[in-house]
């Protein structure tokens, strides 16, 4: 608090002095302002850089997650028994497959229908929507070809929800996995 009694003791400022000091003040003000503006833009640039780096990191993480998910749940064929989900490769001619881990039988066309009874799955295999031919006994190459197309469709459908940049990056990451399975997917397949 300013002591009111001391106010009168202040040296009165002459008009000349006053205008000079005002000019000095306003120059200082301009300097201050331009400094503030410069530092504001510096900070803005910095935060924009940080933000775009952050954004790039987020995008990369997202792409890695999607790629991992595709390899894990689509490209790797798994037992459809939710409690098991063991990856499988075995095929012995019958389109009713059996899981070596949990013992469940399941359809080699759709890889969705499963039952503990091999016969029940046989009946499903004969009527399965995903089947490209009748009967339950088929050579291995039919299975391979069918699964190649099935997985290709699933990957495309999975990627349809993602933006172009993510799609490109994901395709880049899973390129070797796709090549190994003979699956061809390009960005134009998604449009
Ligand atoms: Zn069978
Ligand atoms: Zn299983
Ligand atoms: Zn089926």
Identify the pLDDT of residue 35.
73
Q: What are phi and psi for residue 106, nearest 5 degrees?
A: -150, 165
Identify the pLDDT of residue 22.
74
Query: Which secondary structure element, helix H or strand E, spans residue 174, and what is its range?
Result: none
Distance 90 CA to ligand 2 centre (A): 12
**In angstroms, rounded to a whole number, what is the distance separating the alpha carbons of residues 151 and 179?**
13
Identify the pLDDT of residue 4.
52
Identify the pLDDT of residue 113.
96
With beta carbons less than 8 A apart as the criterion, state whether 109 and 148 touch.
no
DSSP class of residue 53 equals H
Instruction: For residue 107, give the 3-state DSSP assignment.
Output: strand
| Token digits of residue 102 | 């949990």
For the beta carbon of residue 166, count every other beta carbon within 10 angstroms: 18
Residues with CB under 5 A from ligand 3 (ion): 107, 109-110, 113, 128
**In angstroms, rounded to a whole number, what is the distance separating the alpha carbons of residues 41 and 34?**
10
Identify the pLDDT of residue 20.
73
Structure pTM? 0.74
Identify the pLDDT of residue 36.
77
- pLDDT tens digit string along 50-59? 878 999 999 9
């Amino acid at each position: 608090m300013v002591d009111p009694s001391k106010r009168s003791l202040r040296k009165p400022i002459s008009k000349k002095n006053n205008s000079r000091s005002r000019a000095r003040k306003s120059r200082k003000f301009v300097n201050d302002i331009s400094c503030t503006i410069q530092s504001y833009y510096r900070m803005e640039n910095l935060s924009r850089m940080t933000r775009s780096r952050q954004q790039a990191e987020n995008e990369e993480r997202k792409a890695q997650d999607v790629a991992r998910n595709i390899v894990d749940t689509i490209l790797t064929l798994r037992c459809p028994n939710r409690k098991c989900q063991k990856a499988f490769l075995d095929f012995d001619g019958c389109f009713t497959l059996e899981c070596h881990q949990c013992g469940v039988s399941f359809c080699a066309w759709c890889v969705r229908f499963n039952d503990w009874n091999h016969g029940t799955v046989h009946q499903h295999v004969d009527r399965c929507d995903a089947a490209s031919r009748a009967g339950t006994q088929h050579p291995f190459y039919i299975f391979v070809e069918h699964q190649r197309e099935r997985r290709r469709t699933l990957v495309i459908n999975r990627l349809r929800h993602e933006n172009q940049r993510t799609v490109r990056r994901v395709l880049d990451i899973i390129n070797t996995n796709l090549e190994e399975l003979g699956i061809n997917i390009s960005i134009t397949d998604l449009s």
